[in-house]
Structure 1
């Protein structure tokens, strides 16, 4: 495209800075009065956990580039050193705002009858006795003080675990020795907080933090020594795995080894309580080889515990979102044979508004049906207690051919996926770990059934993982189809991943890393041609992230050509809308609300004969070039209209939608239209199909 002159900034927003703005939108929800109080507490926990992962992955990568002396600018115009400086400023600001939010939420919780105590001495005698008993019976047996001296070297400090630093002196006071230094890991196996049975004088339920209980009982751990001071700290380490897949004899074994090495990753961030004693600080800085210290004040370290805290409160339903009961897809209601329905028509299911039970029932029927010969599926992230995995185990044990592509490199789910892979292999499933150098991120299930003297393929393809837990929290789309050509493509996809196959001439699918990006560019260019002919041209894209420069440039070209473009991007967006000549026809919104917007849906007007696709892929470099991703067209005209209505509903949101400005800032949408909250509107629709 022609290069226009920009007066000040790059036409692109840096990916990591855009992510920080996304996490600010999450944090804003923790301060939003229209959200129920306990849901706001959860939003704060999410923002805290998000920041932890960001530091351990994205900031860690930036530090690696700095340490390697790389000063090359990214396409947004920032080199690693400039980027790191901006990230530290913004993340520090965010952390301060998190603790301001925390203090406000704690005050409101107290007003609602819940008090989190941070000082044992604020408890009355009866409450102290209950805490003392809990300490003796539950906490004390699992504590392990770790002294640091000449004979006992500094221990391994686990990433994102909470530790207590303790300075001791001899109780007799005669020893002139430097203070004795001890570390205690806060047991992560125990809840971070303890609820007392007795309420306080105001009738409030009282909770006390685990570290505060330990602090009060330090004497029990150090006979003959007197604790001088105690402070909490934690370290964030580089969590990226360094895999050499080409030379790995066994990918599963190699990843297991790398998971152990993750515990020893380079320190990225040291968080300490305000007022941390300089003596242990000097030791920590020396041993951990970290210079940048994050002093936290206004609350306890690691606010992620607030998720379990909010979930533990059972008697305050008015402080939560009203429970919803997902509708069972009407096409499958009062039907014993799901295959008979899918033979006649395609079926769309919109989670969490419609039940994930439909997916469970589909696979359960496949397992129980003697005419089903084979089941094949991809597995990226599944729940801890996965009914789908158990169904696959049963199918294999009953003699069906079961093939599962398990992605062992799904970040932070590696250990769980290794566990499931072993369970599936033990049951007799054919387990494949994907292709070297690529993550298998496509979401697809194939069932092969004998019908008369022929074989019939039934396919489920979706935008989200086969995970019943996240299906209740994420908005995703699933398609059930028996379309013959889709079935042929599904078989070809599994053959490519599990065996050796030359590049396949896809009939319906577009598959990354080879075909998806060219197909998307072709679809965009088709809209550009219509615009140049003076015809209506429009693109609507809904996904999690947009950061691939080539795709952004192509959208800029389409905007210049007159194509109207609406982007519904929940998270990272490196495109700047509203730039003269570049992106005047591009509108970008982000919706952050009760459910995590996770669907990937693409609409192209196509001169009125519009095309709609669902996909597993965001438009990021990793998705389009380093992953096996899938895009599937919707053929049923009524379902295409349903998709368009869903997208238009998102675009009409003027409650939880925020508009991206060319500056990179997001602002709430303000207009004179009736207030519309798209997720709540979707909840109010008993079924989303018209």
Structure 2
């Protein structure tokens, strides 16, 4: 691997920190995640990006925060209630974490609101996209919206009174609601709740004025001028239709987030699919974990909601307008290419077009694809070709997050209809994809596919597809292994590595692993694959220790890892020991990182960067210099306890020297050289955006791949131009 210019010390520090269990050596997992989401918000604030791309990041920040509360904050809330005393490596108690989270979230939400009101909204208006309060509209326009309200919204609204005879209603997760105050001639002021319909767009287009009301100085229709109002404003403006005969005193928006983390006791589940379905029904009834209140809501009304929802003050976020802004993502559907990134067309390597088929290509050479710069179509074609090849006997595959429409699943069902044996492991416990996966599992079973739901107590997160084919010389197997899901939609926006091979040892390992997943095999070790939960952590740490040995023997040690998250205490301690020995370490960690880099006597030689950009960095690649006998592993596993202890994960070796070179010097190397989109982690847990030094070329890694990933390096070293998908 080409050396990366950095400030790493070439030698071990003179004084080292001996106690690697010290809590101060680790960053808190939850606060590190909030730092990641802050980097997402910074992309919404990034004025060098197209305007609607900034809006996209603005909404991603909000939806990320929703999921964080539904899963991580809810878990802390349960720990506090249960009096849990187990502490994470950083030593913070659940209560201390909760208070720190609330302080940080409050600060970030203020910044998020300012981004909308002071930056994005005015600039959208300047670009002809107006998101307006309904009170700014003319009387004619509000009457036009009233007509739309009568026909599209009013029929699905149900006002619910709240009084001694009408108990406080259930408020469903992530629903938008209005707290309404009405005055009855006989009873005085009353309180009601109106839930906004979930099937209606959050932003309601303002009807075009009639021709006679147009400004004669501006004839015709200005297509670039679009106006929207908030759904809650439209409902609030027309509450008199819901409460005829009553005076509408006021209304205020609020929103509730609930604990949505499923608790499934597999040991007690006779039928896992049915159990997951039952738990999904309970998700709407989880404990309330966050309450968002409109900025104008008076304290008396807020107190009613807080008391009935039984919330502590630190889980109440007030002073916001609008609330729950993830729905603003609807603006991304507008036909405004001038406000978006240039359309990216993934490449299809020409070797596939010239080879006479996917299986023929893989029989001759291993193939590496880097999505979304490479198209996902060859992966689909690999499964589809196997489904229709008379010589193929069987297909085995794991499915984690598939998506609503799946050509991969269609190909598997086609294979079954063609008489192949098809076995699919569908992970029903993939968080927030449970319903989709249940539906796919049933459809596959209806076609006669053998469907299994994984190993008890574990999630199967490994990405594998195995094809078994009868050929002249006997049975041959072909494998697709990857870092990402078999999801055609996410393949366009996540950076992931696919690897297609007929290496007999890897294929045999994958076959053995499928037998362990679908049957009762207790096999734990494999010839080439590193597999969790049993041995993966041990294998990684042994290789880090090997690098220490090389460094001490005078052979320069070097490690470069690219991953989504670094949390595991034992792995972090191994990296600390390597740094103390003088091993240079480059880490590209997109999200959570609990390691403190650059601490004297501990992590002097460790550099950590994060790239947050147009595409979601999702690939996991682990490079070990190994005294010149380089090893590179790619796969589904981050270095987190959940991946190493609670999931079936796979890291696979890439031994082909040219593909290894692509992984190390391009996929890892370009990323760690990024000085435009990257942020560098400081010892205190904060991140600083990098900028090119004087005379240093600017490297924006994702733009580099969009521009340069137009030719594919083949195993014989020939560069062949790509064709568009």
CA distance in 2, matches of 1:186, 1:312: 22
Paired residue for 1:415? 435
1:235-634 alignment runs, 5 A limit: 235-292=256-313, 294-297=316-319, 299-309=321-331, 311-314=332-335, 316-452=336-472, 454-634=474-654
**CA–CA distance in 1 between the matches of 2:60 and 2:175?**
17
TM-fit CA distance, 1:512: 0.1
**How do 1:57-96 residues align onto structure 2 when only pairs under 5 Å count?**
57-96=71-110
Do the aligned residues in 1 keep the contact of 2:293 with 2:320 (CA within 8 Å)? no
1:165 alignment partner in structure 2 = 179
Counterpart CA distance in 1 for 2:342 and 2:206 is 27
Q: Does 1:217 align with 2:271?
A: no
The answer on whether the counterparts of 1:274 and 1:295 sit within 8 Å (CA) in structure 2 is no
* Aligned partners of 2:162 and 2:192 also within 8 Å: yes
**Cα-to-partner distance string for 1:517-554 (whole Å, 9 max, x where unaligned):** 11111111111110000111110000000000000000
Q: Is residue 29–residue 43 contact of structure 1 (8 Å, CA) maintained in 2?
A: yes
Once the two structures are superposed, residues 380-402 of structure 1 have per-residue CA deviations (whole angstroms, 9 ceiling, x without a partner) of: 10111111111111211222111
Deviation, 1:415, is: 1.1
**TM-score, normalising length: structure 2:** 0.91
**3-state SS of 2:267 partner:** coil
**1:8-47 counterparts in 2 under 5 A?**
10-47=24-61
Deviation for aligned residue 1:581:
1.4
1:106 and 1:272 map into 2 onto residues whose CA distance is 21
Q: Secondary structure at the match of 2:261?
A: coil
The question of 1:53 aligning with 2:67 is answered yes
Q: By how many angstroms is 1:178 displaced?
A: 5.3
Structure 1 residue 5: Cα displacement? 7.0
Match of 1:687 in 2: 711
Matched, 1:185 2:195: yes
Which residue is 1:112 aligned to? Answer: 127
Does the 8 A contact of 1:331 with 1:347 survive in 2? Answer: no
**Secondary structure of the equivalent of 2:151?**
helix
The Cα of 1:488 is off from its aligned counterpart by 0.4
Q: Distance in 1 between matches of 2:602 and 2:354?
A: 53
Counterpart CA distance in 2 for 1:509 and 1:106 is 51
Alpha-carbon contact 1:612-1:633 (below 8 Å) kept: yes
Per-residue deviation, residues 340-398 of structure 1 (Å, max 9, x unmatched): 11000000010000101111111111111111111111111011111111111121122
Partner of 1:179, secondary structure, is: strand
Q: C-alpha distance in 1, partners of 2:540/2:553?
A: 20
Structure 2: how far apart are the matches of 1:547 and 1:339? 39
* Superposition CA RMSD, Å: 1.8
Secondary structure, aligned partner of 1:263 = helix
The CA deviation string for residues 613-636 of structure 1, in whole angstroms up to 9 with x for no partner, is: 101000000000110000000021
Measure, in 1, the Cα distance between the counterparts of 2:410 and 2:163: 50
Deviation at 1:126, TM superposition (A): 4.1
Conserved? CA contact 1:102–1:299, under 8 Å: no
CA distance in structure 2 between the partners assigned to 1:299 and 1:565 by the alignment = 45
What secondary structure is seen at the aligned counterpart in 2 of 1:10?
helix
Q: Is 1:153 aligned to residue 167 of structure 2?
A: yes
Q: Unpaired runs of 5+ in structure 1?
A: none
Verify the 8 A CA contact 1:396 1:427 in the aligned structure 2: yes
Q: Which runs of 5+ in 2 are unaligned?
A: 1-14, 714-718, 720-725
Give SS of 2:236's match: helix
SS of the aligned residue for 1:165 comes to strand
CA distance in 2, matches of 1:5, 1:364: 55
TM-score normalised by L of structure 1 = 0.96
Distance in 1 between residues matched to 2:340 and 2:319, nearest whole Å: 28
CA 1:560–1:278: 2 relative to 1, 3 Å: closer
Q: Deviations over 1:64-104 (max 9, x none)?
A: 11111224432102111111111100011111111001111
CA distance in 2, matches of 1:109, 1:668: 26
Partners of 1:76 and 1:320 lie apart in 2 by: 41
* Partner Cα separation in structure 1 for residue 443 and residue 318 of structure 2: 43
Q: How does 1:596-675 map to 2 (within 5 A)?
A: 596-646=616-666, 647-670=668-691, 671-672=693-694, 673-675=696-698
The DSSP-based 3-state class of the residue aligned with 1:392 is: helix
Tell me, in whole angstroms, the C-alpha distance in 1 between the residues paired with 2:372 and 2:327.
25
* Whole-angstrom CA distance in 2 between matches of 1:430 and 1:179: 61
Question: How many Å apart are 1:297 and its aligned residue?
Answer: 3.6
Aligned partners of 1:198 and 1:205 also within 8 Å: no
- Does the Cα contact within 8 Å between 1:198 and 1:206 map onto a contact in 2? no
Could you list the per-position Cα deviations for residues 448-493 of structure 1 after superposition, in whole angstroms to 9, with x for gaps in the alignment? Answer: 1111251111100000000011100000000000111111011101
Aligned match for 2:151, one of 101, 121, 137: 137
How far the C-alpha of 1:181 sits from its partner, in A, is 2.2
Query: How big is the shift at 1:568?
Result: 0.2
| Greater displacement, 286-295 / 299-308 | 286-295
SS in 2 for 1:268: strand
Work out whether 1:228 is the aligned partner of 2:249: yes
Distance 2:188 2:523 in 1: 69
Question: Which moved further from structure 2: 142-151 or 589-598?
Answer: 142-151
Which secondary structure state, in structure 2, belongs to the residue aligned with residue 500 of structure 1? coil
Equivalent position SS for 2:292 = strand
Q: Is the 8 A contact 2:178 2:193 kept in 1?
A: yes
Q: How big is the shift at 1:180? A: 2.3
**Shift of residue 298 of structure 1?**
5.3
- 1:655: Cα distance to partner? 0.2
Secondary structure in 1 matching 2:390: coil
Moved more, 567-576 or 221-230: 221-230
SS of residue paired to 2:25: coil
Check conservation: 1:642, 1:688, Cα contact below 8 A.
Answer: no
Distance (Å, rounded) in 2 between the aligned partners of 1:663 and 1:398? 59
Partner residue, 2:3: none
Native 8 Å contact 1:273 1:295 kept in 2 = no
- Contact 1:100 1:298 (8 Å CA) reproduced: no
